[in-house]
Amino acid sequence: MFDEKLKRLFSPNSIAVIGASDSFDKLGYHVMKSLVKGNYKFPIYPVNHSAQNIWGIKAYPSILNIPQPVDLAVIVVPAKSVPDVLYECGKKGVSGVVLITAGYKEIEAEEGKILEDEIKRIASEFEIPIIGPNTFGFVNLTDSVNASFTYEFSLIKKGGVTLISQSGGFCHICGFLAMEERMGMAKLMSLGNRVNIDFPEAVRYFMEKDEATKVIALYIEGIDEPKRLFKTIDSIKNKKPVVAYKAGKGEKGDEASRFHTGSLAGNYRIWKGAIRQANILEVNSIEELIDTAKVIDLCPFLKGNRVAVLSSQAGPGIIAADTLLLSGMVLSKFSSQTQENINKLLPPFAIRTNPVDMGPAWYSPETILNILKVVADDENTDGIIFIAIFASANLNLTKDMEKIIEGMEAFKKPIIACLNAPQGIWDEEIKILDGKKGIAIIHTPERAARAMASLWEISRLKD
Amino acid sequence: MFDEKLKRLFSPNSIAVIGASDSFDKLGYHVMKSLVKGNYKFPIYPVNHSAQNIWGIKAYPSILNIPQPVDLAVIVVPAKSVPDVLYECGKKGVSGVVLITAGYKEIEAEEGKILEDEIKRIASEFEIPIIGPNTFGFVNLTDSVNASFTYEFSLIKKGGVTLISQSGGFCHICGFLAMEERMGMAKLMSLGNRVNIDFPEAVRYFMEKDEATKVIALYIEGIDEPKRLFKTIDSIKNKKPVVAYKAGKGEKGDEASRFHTGSLAGNYRIWKGAIRQANILEVNSIEELIDTAKVIDLCPFLKGNRVAVLSSQAGPGIIAADTLLLSGMVLSKFSSQTQENINKLLPPFAIRTNPVDMGPAWYSPETILNILKVVADDENTDGIIFIAIFASANLNLTKDMEKIIEGMEAFKKPIIACLNAPQGIWDEEIKILDGKKGIAIIHTPERAARAMASLWEISRLKD
């Protein structure tokens, strides 16, 4: 019902910050910083009782005093002032609200619940979609809209992963790890107390209306109407892959998450079954969430589960092969033609069957590229794990790594690459490779193998 | 039998590099670089047929021409020349040899096996302990001896973890991850083909003779005499904790590792049982190896499995609590006195039971330290997980983080801290905290929880 309004909420042509401040210890300062330093391209209207200017921008005593239309209002005033401010937003005709302020149904006092009901009523009267309350906000990396109190989110690489989270803290740690792992993101948001924007509304919007989103990642503590989420997904025609991390698996976790955002985490077993039925891929750690989402965003789907492991050293290749087998994947058996070709490219003392130890070819980027090509062309191989671990004595390769990388883009099968070197040595190469079509860089051989297995799971769910 | 000689091998007072070179594409160049740039404190003697000087250091045509005694010889000449060179080392009376050269029993050709037998015979005649052949060498971080072809190992932080690996590639990736995770290491070595230094010899030496080693990490693909390793460990009086990562769990992995270092990985199930009986803690990924070894090195043992989770945000705390419960740990139930004290320190809208959401106290480092103190003093708590996730609006805390860190060192219970921020923001704080007694920093909440569970496992094995 909010579709058009949500478009304006997430990609607004103007933003009012109600409670904007020049004082460093106020959230209103940090929201202004996020918008300004995050390069928001359209007008920002600070709203503040007393100040003339905030962050050097003309301020207004109320949103009603702003002469231009306002698409999005970000509210950071104290909980008790919110109903009045929200009413004014309704009068102004905003398309949406981000309500950062906390102190509602998540607190022990009855007062919080009463205030939240009041907010719900006003939102319904004016038909305003609200993200929050009790949220850090959202970040739209695609269009450079950082409507949150943490500017640093703007440093995340742009890409196709959208995170819908029930916890702002989770968004922070996941965002920082995304930076480390160079995962490209489209949007990230914390739902908070979910006055009228809950998982189903958010998922539907990003699946149906947001082109930049290629894969949706969910962090779920507990939702009131799980069936509604699954029904929503079921009703969407062109589904995008969904990856979910469920917290509150134990009883104690349940209890804690009830306090956190005011709803029970529910029985995990029931959840697990339901998630699977809805074709949602479950992950079990932040890193797995990132690896899986990244690989789905960057790689084509797998047509089968036969994987070739090509490694610069035997050990890391063995570990990757091991992890693949433990994850239900198969090591591809090369055709006799492929094996013959590899045997021509590698000396007899290297492991030339799968996993291939490319060590002896490590001084010749042409040979490495040729091995890659031969394996990528083999119809018995569905995907490739390429491992390169730096060694000082192989420093020559550093110069040539770019050549290998350029060559890899031509392959049409998914390639998960694990490039590992001390900080600073391959940073540039990793950056180049991470932008290539069909290739995802994952931090360790085991994680690369598990990400390949996840890609296979999601490829099968897709059918 | 090699004990005294091993001391001289790992902490030599002089080193000859046989096959030293000034030519960048030779391994002998990189071994020289590792020693020189790695700040080796004693004389280095390059040995080279024709050169007068190598790396600006006087060179000798043979080790027999060096007028001074030589403790360690690092050999990088071609496989066929090794027997002659090794014989000269014997004549010279070296204490030990690092034989980097490959091309022995790991290759398909019969020639390799014959050469290796010859090496074995000479080593036995002169009673020379040999690391290798087919090894990258070893690094003694304690005494700044980088006897390997990768200089960058010298950048690893000094500490108490010693890695004995069956794969050089594994040492490389593990070393680079150790840098990222700031794990302190004492030694790292790759056994290669194990002519006469195998797991039992190495483990015995580091347990009995190397004070700097506090915990031993093993990377095992397959060993010929597993019983000998377990018997060796069993016979040692003051055992140090051992953590092991076993590769070749599947059949295919077995096959690959047989080619790699010439021995069967063996049936994994039999292994698993034997490892457990020998009080060795098994880990299942490189990260888990690092986290576990780091925590054992830095933290006191746990007296029980009751853990308190104190988090700057609810979400990450819930995830840590969840993972603890799934790993067989218990969330400590605070005494009524502790609970009362926390209730005084935190407002009623925060989660004040375990996991504690310290969010509302996040502007006051004194309050955070007080919460930590109250919980550390509670006799119902055996260990603490402390989580701090950066948020721009909490930037004030960045200044004060050092104060919190300083205060934490006074606690006598193990603290695993998870500090997460975009690169550059808490780097200094993390560095300070990582040096504190009893505190280990682990990258994510889930990994922190699993590391705590591993610490509990090893604490119980210790009894």
The DSSP annotation for A14-68 comes to: -EEEET--S-TTSHHHHHHHHHHHTT--S-EEEE-SS-SEETTEE-BSSGGG-SS
Q: Which two tokens stand for residue B142?
A: 């304690």
Closest CA to A104 of A231, A247, A263: A263
The pLDDT, as a whole number, for residue A330 is: 96
Q: At the fourth CATH level, which superfamily is domain B1-130?
A: NAD(P)-binding Rossmann-like Domain (3.40.50.720)
The pLDDT, as a whole number, for residue B395 is: 66
The rounded distance, in Å, linking the Cα atoms of A82 and A73 is: 12
Task: Specify the higher pLDDT residue, A391 or A262.
Answer: A391
Decide if B381 touches A, using CB distance below 8 A: no
Least confident of A118-132, A235-249, A316-330: A235-249
Decide if A317 touches B, using CB distance below 8 A: yes
Closest CA to B458 of B266, B302, B234: B302
| Contact at CB, B393 and A27, closer than 8 angstroms | yes
Give the closest of A102, A152, A248 to B392, CB-based.
A152
ipTM of predicted complex: 0.93
The pLDDT, as a whole number, for residue B278 is: 83
| Contact at CB, B318 and A257, closer than 8 angstroms | yes
- Residues in chain A closer than 8 A to B326 (CB atoms): 249-250
The pLDDT, as a whole number, for residue A265 is: 46
Task: Identify the three-state secondary structure at position B314.
Answer: helix
Give the closest of B166, B172, B393 to A389, CB-based.
B172
Q: Which chain B residue is nearest to residue A268, measuring alpha carbons? A: B322
- Residues in chain A closer than 8 A to B391 (CB atoms): 136, 149-150, 168, 172
Q: Which chain A residue is nearest to residue B319, measuring alpha carbons? A: A247
The pLDDT, as a whole number, for residue B253 is: 46
The rounded distance, in Å, linking the Cα atoms of A174 and B390 is: 11
The pLDDT, as a whole number, for residue B256 is: 52
Confidence band of A171 (pLDDT split at 50, 70, 90): very high
Task: Specify the higher pLDDT residue, B221 or A93.
Answer: A93
- A247-304 pLDDT, tens digit per residue, is 877 655 445 554 454 444 456 777 777 788 888 999 999 999 999 999 999 999 999 9
Beta strands in B60-142 (DSSP E): 72-75, 96-99, 130-131, 137-140
The pLDDT, as a whole number, for residue A266 is: 54
Give the closest of B326, B355, B420 to A176, CB-based.
B420
Cβ atoms of B173 and B286 within 8 Å: the answer is: yes
- Residues in chain A closer than 8 A to B351 (CB atoms): 256, 259-260
| Contact at CB, A444 and B173, closer than 8 angstroms | yes
Task: Identify the three-state secondary structure at position B300.
Answer: coil
| Contact at CB, B315 and A395, closer than 8 angstroms | no
| Contact at CB, B286 and A176, closer than 8 angstroms | no
Residue whose entry in the numeric block shows the structure tokens 């490694």: A311
Q: Which chain B residue is nearest to residue A333, measuring alpha carbons? A: B252
Q: Which site among B32, B246, B319 would you substitute to test the A interface, given the most A Cβ atoms closer than 10 Å to its Cβ?
A: B319
Decide if A381 touches B, using CB distance below 8 A: no
Residue range(s) in chain A whose domain bears CATH number 3.40.50.720: 1-130
Decide if B335 touches A, using CB distance below 8 A: no
| Contact at CB, B318 and A221, closer than 8 angstroms | yes
Is the pLDDT score of A42 beyond 90?
yes
Q: Which chain A residue is nearest to residue B31, measuring alpha carbons? A: A393
Cβ atoms of B303 and B296 within 8 Å: the answer is: no
CATH no. of A156-298: 3.40.50.261
The pLDDT, as a whole number, for residue B198 is: 95
The pLDDT, as a whole number, for residue A264 is: 41
CATH number for domain A299-462, candidates 3.20.20.140, 3.30.1600.10, 3.30.300.30, 3.40.50.261: 3.40.50.261
Q: What is the mean pLDDT of residues B14-35?
A: 96
Q: What is the mean pLDDT of chain B?
A: 91
**Which helix (H) or strand (E) segment is B25 a member of?**
none
Phi, psi of A368 (to 5 degrees): -60, -45
Is the pLDDT score of A456 beyond 90?
yes
The pLDDT, as a whole number, for residue A351 is: 80
> Chain A: nearest CA to B416, how far in angstroms?
17
Q: What is the mean pLDDT of residues B149-162?
A: 97
Task: Identify the three-state secondary structure at position B7.
Answer: helix
- Residues in chain A closer than 8 A to B311 (CB atoms): 169
Q: What is the mean pLDDT of residues B133-157?
A: 97
Biggest distance spanned by C-alpha atoms of chain B? 80
Of A229-233, B1-5, B29-33, B361-365, highest mean pLDDT: B29-33
The pLDDT, as a whole number, for residue A1 is: 66
Is the pLDDT score of A343 beyond 50?
yes
Closest CA to B292 of B214, B403, B189: B214
Q: Which chain A residue is nearest to residue B390, measuring alpha carbons? A: A172
Half-sphere exposure of B133 (CA within 13 A, CB side): 25
Q: What is the mean pLDDT of residues A120-140?
A: 97
Q: What is the mean pLDDT of residues A49-71?
A: 97
> Chain A: nearest CA to B296, how far in angstroms?
23
Decide if A51 touches B, using CB distance below 8 A: no
Phi, psi of A357 (to 5 degrees): -95, 105
| Contact at CB, B318 and A248, closer than 8 angstroms | yes
Nearest 5°: the CA angle A147, A151, A152 is: 130
Confidence band of B401 (pLDDT split at 50, 70, 90): confident
Task: Identify the three-state secondary structure at position B45.
Answer: strand
Q: What is the mean pLDDT of residues A385-403?
A: 80
The pLDDT, as a whole number, for residue B463 is: 61
The pLDDT, as a whole number, for residue A259 is: 45
Decide if A355 touches B, using CB distance below 8 A: yes
Phi, psi of B448 (to 5 degrees): -60, -45
Confidence band of B264 (pLDDT split at 50, 70, 90): very low
Cis status, amide bond into A46, omega within 30 of 0:
no
What are the helix and strand counts (H, E) for chain B? 16, 20
| Contact at CB, B167 and A253, closer than 8 angstroms | no
Give the closest of B314, B393, B423 to A30, CB-based.
B393
- Residues in chain A closer than 8 A to B445 (CB atoms): 173, 286
The rounded distance, in Å, linking the Cα atoms of B399 and B428 is: 11
**Which helix (H) or strand (E) segment is A171 a member of?**
helix A168-180
β-pair type (A306-311, A356-357): parallel
Confidence band of B265 (pLDDT split at 50, 70, 90): very low
Decide if B168 touches A, using CB distance below 8 A: yes
The pLDDT, as a whole number, for residue B267 is: 67
The pLDDT, as a whole number, for residue B276 is: 80
The pLDDT, as a whole number, for residue B196 is: 96
The pLDDT, as a whole number, for residue A395 is: 66
Nearest 5°: the CA angle B302, B306, B312 is: 100
Confidence band of A87 (pLDDT split at 50, 70, 90): very high
The rounded distance, in Å, linking the Cα atoms of B285 and B245 is: 7
Residue whose entry in the numeric block shows the structure tokens 């904790």: B241
Decide if A277 touches B, using CB distance below 8 A: no
The rounded distance, in Å, linking the Cα atoms of B362 and A227 is: 37
Decide if A321 touches B, using CB distance below 8 A: yes
The rounded distance, in Å, linking the Cα atoms of B414 and B298 is: 9
Q: Which site among B111, B392, B418, B443 would you substitute to test the A interface, given the most A Cβ atoms closer than 10 Å to its Cβ?
A: B392
Task: Identify the three-state secondary structure at position A112.
Answer: helix
Is the pLDDT score of B262 beyond 50?
no
- Residues in chain B closer than 8 A to A176 (CB atoms): 389-390, 420-422
Task: Specify the higher pLDDT residue, B393 or B286.
Answer: B286
| Contact at CB, B315 and A221, closer than 8 angstroms | yes
The rounded distance, in Å, linking the Cα atoms of B371 and A256 is: 18
Decide if B444 touches A, using CB distance below 8 A: yes
Decide if A364 touches B, using CB distance below 8 A: no
The rounded distance, in Å, linking the Cα atoms of B440 and B405 is: 12
Beta strands in B133-214 (DSSP E): 137-140, 145-148, 158-165, 185-190
DSSP B435: T
Half-sphere exposure of B232 (CA within 13 A, CB side): 19
The pLDDT, as a whole number, for residue A463 is: 61
Q: What is the mean pLDDT of residues B248-259?
A: 55
| Contact at CB, A285 and B325, closer than 8 angstroms | no
Q: Which two tokens stand for residue B98?
A: 């690092």
Least confident of A142-146, A268-272, B14-18: A268-272
- Residues in chain A closer than 8 A to B33 (CB atoms): 392
Q: What is the mean pLDDT of chain A?
A: 91
Provide the whole-model pTM.
0.94
Q: What is the mean pLDDT of residues B328-357?
A: 91
The rounded distance, in Å, linking the Cα atoms of B217 and B235 is: 19
Biggest distance spanned by C-alpha atoms of chain A? 80
Is the pLDDT score of B423 beyond 90?
no
The pLDDT, as a whole number, for residue B352 is: 87
> Chain A: nearest CA to B368, how far in angstroms?
17
Q: Which residues contact A39 (CB under 8 A, 6 or more apart)?
A: A144, A154
Cβ atoms of B345 and B382 within 8 Å: the answer is: no
Q: What percent of chain B has pLDDT over 70?
A: 95
Residue whose entry in the numeric block shows the structure tokens 């690896």: A291
Residue range(s) in chain A whose domain bears CATH number 3.40.50.261: 156-298, 299-462
- B334-346 pLDDT, tens digit per residue, is 999 999 999 999 8
Q: What is the mean pLDDT of residues B431-452?
A: 91
Decide if B67 touches A, using CB distance below 8 A: no
Q: Which chain A residue is nearest to residue B248, measuring alpha carbons? A: A322
Q: What is the mean pLDDT of residues A76-82?
A: 96
Q: Which residues contact A111 (CB under 8 A, 6 or more apart)?
A: none
Q: What is the mean pLDDT of residues B269-290?
A: 87
Decide if A106 touches B, using CB distance below 8 A: yes
| Contact at CB, A169 and B390, closer than 8 angstroms | no
| Contact at CB, A389 and B173, closer than 8 angstroms | yes
The rounded distance, in Å, linking the Cα atoms of B144 and B147 is: 9
String of DSSP letters for B250-270? SHHHHHHHHHHHSS----HHH
Chain A, chain B: beta-carbon pairs less than 8 Å apart: 257
Decide if B134 touches A, using CB distance below 8 A: no
Give the closest of B319, B348, B393 to A149, CB-based.
B393
The pLDDT, as a whole number, for residue B411 is: 87
